[in-house]
Amino acid sequence: MGEIKITVNGKEMIGKSGDTILNIAAENGIEIPNLCYNKNLKIYGACGLCLVEIEGAAKLFRACATAAENGMVIKTDTERVRRARKVALELIMSDHFGDCKAPCHLNCPAHTDIQGYLKQIALGNDKEAVRIIKEKIPIPASIGRICPHPCESHCRRRLVEEPLSIAYLKAFAADNDLASEDPYKPAKAKPTGKKISIIGGGPAGLSAAYYLCLGGHSVTVYDAMPEMGGMLRYGIPEYRLPKAVLRKEISAIEELGVVMKNGIKIGKDIGFDEIRADFDAVLIAAGAWSSSKIGCKGEELNGVIGGIDFLRKVNLGEIPDIGKSVAVIGGGNTAMDACRTAIRCGAEKVYVIYRRTRAEAPAEDIEIEEAIEEGVEFRFLTNPAEIIGENGKVKALKLQVMELGEPDASGRRKPVPVEGKFEILEADTVISAIGQKYDGTGFDSVALTDRGTIFADENSCMTNLEGVFAAGDATNGGASIAIKAIAEANLAAKAMEAYLDGLPVDFKKPYYSEKKMTEKDFADKEKIPRAKMPVKSPEARKRNFDSVIDGFTDEQARAEAKRCLECGCHDYPDCRLIRYANERPIEPQRFAGEIHESFVERKLVSIERDQGKCILCNLCVRTCSEEAKKGILGLVGRGFKTVIKPEFDDSNTTEFCKTCRRCADICPTGALEIIE
């Protein structure tokens, strides 16, 4: 067989006469996308991804099925090729019924590999679980205790009985690791010589510091408060997050080499321009430390305090004189922290005033339940109309009675006043916990949004200033949950590294294949109750700031982690299909319609076959027939109804299948998984 010379994308290369364009290109370092080709098998040409343009030819050619000829000039990435490849990918993905990532992963703002670390906890490998968690969350023992866990709301186990206790399992593994003789410590890259300043030592600032330090950069964190931790330190009560736990996790970040400077306020102790001049890049993660105003007459009276201000005082060791009767305005988790803290500060009567019903309250239900157990009284469908004072001090609260009207922009029914209907509530202190705001003092040159927050590009965290990035509660939509701030910090750290390397900093959301499933899909699953977190009795907990939870036992945690259904695809890291789908934007919904029946079977003895992920590339069938010489797999049906099915004709074939497994190794989409 003689040699030929061809040109691919301007690169001249030598190949063997009769060999395919795809194979010669691959041997010379050029990948032409493909899903159904293997040089050891007969040519099939099913996926339609390997189309190329040949100079002088009117049509496109399949590189896997086209023999190269001497002198050919081939282009693999023209606009015409990209359009055709896009359609082929969209057709494949429109009929691909698989989960690239588990729903818990997709709905965790930080996109933590929950499935991965739950598996390690189930196996008893807490250190490995922490390694996986810390790829996205550097303070898991703290976050596991206080996160409102949106991941759990999407856990597929809820379609069986109850979602997994994901957040507490995270804290369990992290606590064990912190207490071990050899806690997990990540490796650092070589020093880059780049200096980065981070303003704010809360969850966003600490997270960015951790990842940028691991990247080899010199990182200095400035914070106005006496200790690092931000709202985790000063806005979350001790009974929810013991500060000793938080300090341990912050110390681990400091030990990596992050320089931490406390008690430094920007604009007072050091100028923002001075920081910009001294560092190669800056991240503003200053948080939202100002409480929102109630907006009613009398809120200037002595005895009216912001929820964040109240919690900060208590966390600093002060016990404010709040009197016997306290009214907390708001229905979120800060309001729950404030009302439960007021109980612990000695208030005899504590009320929560919320303008909607309990069903609309944004606070976690368990927080409301535990507050009620501790003696808090909820006044739903009421709103402050006036704070009544006497001698400049709060005396009572005039409440407007509300009712629910039509849904507002948030989707919740809008509370509207019941004309002429009011209630009077005696109170010594009114705590406003209706929101937090960013205070931009010291950052005058940074552009703001209409909300008064820092404008930061959602795909890069860049501000209007060169080399200045922003993340967390100070940006865009304002204050939110800590895990969201950490997610933004992860993005900011990547963007800052790209910026320092002179690379593009615009990071787009990746495309994932997602299943839509119902309770019917899990009807055969054994029902196993969710592990119940041991909690101290209301009487034992309401007069002190000791942790309200006792933590899972080892046995409880391992059993709970084993409830995981392992929804995400085992083959995701190596899946070529999803890699190609993310190279350029695709729109599979354009071809929405009938799809193949989706089911999972184990007829292949040692291999689980997921029909929903199968793209009929036929690699498994051809491998079984041509290489294994068994023909166990075959195509059944005609046209669109065609599917792949196994056929076992004797016990010897079954035994052979147990050890062969070649079909699973060659599958490009994770449709075949080896059963351990």
Q: What is the pLDDT of residues 474-487, one digit of tens each?
A: 999 999 999 999 99
- What is the domain extent for residue 407? 292-435
C-alpha distances in Å from residue 251, one per residue of 139, 191, 210, 232, 245:
10, 21, 11, 15, 10
CATH of the domain at 321: 3.50.50.60
Residue 450 CB neighbour total at 10 angstroms: 6
Indicate whether 430 and 465 sit together in one domain: no
Instruction: Indicate the residue among 384, 403, 435 that finishes a domain.
Output: 435
- 251 & 298 share domain: no
Query: Does residue 337 belong to any structural domain of this protein?
Result: yes
Of the three residues 454, 479, 500, the one that is the final residue of a domain is 500
- Pair (352, 269) in one structural domain: no
pLDDT of residue 413: 86
Domain stop point among 383, 413, 435: 435
Same domain, 453 and 336: no
Domain count, the chain: 4
pLDDT value for 649: 66
pLDDT score of 1: 60
Q: Is the confidence at residue 16, as pLDDT, over 80?
A: yes
Kind plus residue range of the DSSP H or E element containing 486? helix 482-500
**Domain contains 533:** no
Residues 317 and 427 in one domain: yes
Candidate from 1-15, 335-349, 420-434 with smallest mean pLDDT: 1-15
27 shares its domain with 71: yes
| 639 and 622 within one domain | yes
Residues 464 and 403 both lie in one domain: no
Query: Do the domain assignments include residue 228?
Result: yes
Q: What are the tokens at 651?
A: 């016990």
The answer to whether residue 420 sits within a structural domain is yes
Residue 542 pLDDT more than 90?
Answer: yes
What are the b/e assignments for 326-360, b being 16+ CB within 10 Å?
bbbbbbbbbbbbbbbbbbbbebebbbbbbbbbbeb
How large a percentage of the chain has pLDDT more than 70? 100
pLDDT at 578 over 80: yes
Amino acid 409: pLDDT: 80
475 with 453: CB under 8 angstroms? yes
Q: Is the pLDDT of residue 51 over 80?
A: yes
Instruction: Band the pLDDT of 652: cuts 50, 70, 90.
Output: confident
**Model's pTM, two decimal places?**
0.92
**% the chain with pLDDT above 90:** 86
Residue 261 lies in a domain: yes
In a domain, 338, yes or no: yes
14: domain CATH number is 3.10.20.740
Residues 545-557: what's their mean pLDDT? Answer: 96
> What is the pLDDT, as a whole number, of residue 605?
82
Domain match, 430 and 442 both = no
> Does residue 347 share a domain with residue 225?
no
Same domain, 356 and 275: no
Mean pLDDT confidence for 407-421: 89
**321 and 422 together in one domain:** yes
Confidence check: pLDDT of 112 > 80:
yes
Of 632 and 223, which is predicted with more confidence? 223
The 10s digit of each residue's pLDDT in 312-352 is 999 999 989 999 999 999 999 999 999 999 999 999 999 99
Mean pLDDT of the chain: 94
Residue 425 has pLDDT above 80, yes or no: yes
663 belongs to a structural domain = yes
Mean predicted confidence (pLDDT) in 65-90: 95
Reported as a pLDDT band with limits 50, 70 and 90, residue 568 is very high
Q: Does 268 reside within a domain?
A: yes
- Quickly list DSSP for 627-660: IS----EEEESSGGG-EEEE---SHHHHHHHHHH
Q: How confident is the model at residue 593 (pLDDT cuts 50, 70, 90)?
A: confident
Taking 90 as the threshold, does the pLDDT of residue 508 lie above it?
no
The pLDDT-based confidence of 130 (bands split at 50, 70, 90) is very high
